[in-house]
Amino acid sequence: MTRARSPARRRASTPRRPPPSVEILDTAFHRASLATPHGETKPERDRRRAQLKIVRSGATVVRHLRLETRRFAKPGLTEFERALVAGAFGDGTLDRALVRIRRAEERIRGLSREAEAATRRASGAEELGDQVRAYYGRLSSFVREVDRDLEIVRAVTEFLRNRPRLDPAAPTLVVAGFPNVGKSSLVAKLSSARPKVADYPFTTLSIAVGHADLGFDRLQVVDTPGVLGRAHRANLAEEEATTAVGRAATVVLFVIDPTGGSGYTLEEQEALLAKWREEYPRLPIVDVETKSDLGQRATRRLRVSALSGEGIDTLWTTLRRLMEPKGEMPPIEEATEEVPLVADDGGDRSPATASRPRRGPERA
């Protein structure tokens, strides 16, 4: 079972902010106070002022609730994002919060309709004032009831803002392995990503993404935090890495440091590799030994070096074959060949439109 992590506990070191309801209600009541209705008589103006206060405050609250949850409106979270959120906050935590907020929206709309209709039956300014105050009280109660849910939504939104948004339709290479084995250096060599690289463990604290060309496709290259393969003792960063492997990867590039410089033995690294191959039997996992510039050893694995570039071309060939790109760039002479176009009526088109570059193969 996924362990739930309280957003408050994860941010215990930051100053406590006022509940979301304070900000939302202050904004709503301020906007309502600016109502300046027109009317020929004072009773008419009083009635319209009460109605405007009710309608404006209710609409402002609903609008703010919608803004708080807009990140999760259709199309919503991807499978990968949903798994990340479940790992960090607990299964179903976000969904339950969203349901309660949407229920609050519905209750506020119904309350506003009832209160606005009641003002039509009020007999004077004092009764109208009582109705507005009663409405404000119930409106405030509904918003305060979802304070905790709004805090969860804000925490999840911030959590996802600090992580890359992967395209689920694009091929994805996830680079994984133990800490300090050279994953980030390899990601920088293979893609546009510029991850932080340092000679100490756990430099990468969350997933990061770069891109590379793959025929007509855009390849996503994901750098992950180090994983120690500890059953039931993984930290949040390790869980993110494992989630990327299991939920986002088209191919996994498992990086092994045979030099011992990472602080982990070859046997420990190979045990994690074997574990993942057993857990994900249908997922292509390419294992490579990195830091080949630091020495040679007898091995059947491909040896690569992000520093010298050794083995990178061979690795690319292997990855391209496994990724199965949808299209290849056409030869330059084919791309610039002039093709006569025929109009629907059988006649030639004008010279201005008769010479155009040919397109490459259509994507499947």
Q: b/e map of 87-106 (b: 16 or more CB within 10 Å)?
A: bbbbbebbeebbeebeebbe
> Once rounded to an integer, what is the mean pLDDT over residues 255-262?
86
According to CATH, what is the number of the domain 7-11+18-161? 1.20.120.1190
Compute the residue count for the chain. 364
Query: Would you state the pLDDT for residue 293?
Result: 61
Residue 256, helix vs strand vs coil: strand
Q: What percent of the chain has a predicted confidence (pLDDT) above 70?
A: 77
| Helix, strand counts (H, E) of the chain | 13, 6
Query: Would you state the pLDDT for residue 201?
Result: 44
25 has a pLDDT exceeding 90: yes
196 has a pLDDT exceeding 60: no
Query: Would you state the pLDDT for residue 55?
Result: 96
Question: 85-105 pLDDT, tens per residue?
Answer: 999 999 999 999 999 999 999
pLDDT-derived band of residue 162, with 50, 70 and 90 as boundaries? confident
Query: Would you state the pLDDT for residue 8?
Result: 43
Query: Would you state the pLDDT for residue 356?
Result: 41
**CA distances to 9, 21, 27, 62, 139 from 56, in Å:** 36, 16, 10, 10, 12
211 has a pLDDT exceeding 70: yes
> Residue 270 corresponds to which amino acid?
E
Place of tokens 């011992």: 260
Report whether 213 contacts 219 (CB < 8 A). Answer: yes
According to CATH, what is the number of the domain 172-323? 3.40.50.300
227 has a pLDDT exceeding 70: yes
Give the whole-angstrom CA distance, residue 54 versus residue 357: 62
Question: What's 348's DSSP letter?
Answer: B
Quote the mean pLDDT of the chain.
82
pLDDT-derived band of residue 284, with 50, 70 and 90 as boundaries? very high
Query: Would you state the pLDDT for residue 77?
Result: 93
> Once rounded to an integer, what is the mean pLDDT over residues 298-307?
84
- What is the model's pTM? 0.75
Question: 143-157 pLDDT, tens per residue?
Answer: 999 999 999 999 999
> Once rounded to an integer, what is the mean pLDDT over residues 218-225?
87
CATH 3.40.50.300: which residues of the chain?
172-323
Q: What percent of the chain has a predicted confidence (pLDDT) above 90?
A: 49
173: closest CA among 322, 51, 302, 19? 322
199 has a pLDDT exceeding 70: no
- If you compute the radius of gyration of the chain from its CA atoms, what whole number of angstroms results? 30
Rounding to the nearest 10 degrees, give the CA dihedral for residues 355, 357, 358, 361.
-160
Query: Would you state the pLDDT for residue 238?
Result: 85
Give the whole-angstrom CA distance, residue 141 versus residue 104: 10
Question: 59-86 pLDDT, tens per residue?
Answer: 999 999 999 999 999 888 999 999 999 9
CATH 1.20.120.1190: which residues of the chain?
7-11+18-161
Residue 220, helix vs strand vs coil: strand
Higher per-residue confidence, 159 vs 231: 159
CB neighbourhood size of 295 (10 A)? 9
346 has a pLDDT exceeding 60: no
Residue 156, C-beta contacts closer than 8 angstroms, at least 6 positions apart: 7, 71, 85, 88, 89, 94
pLDDT-derived band of residue 15, with 50, 70 and 90 as boundaries? low
Helix residue spans in 16-74 (DSSP H): 20-33, 42-69
pLDDT-derived band of residue 134, with 50, 70 and 90 as boundaries? very high
Query: Would you state the pLDDT for residue 308?
Result: 85
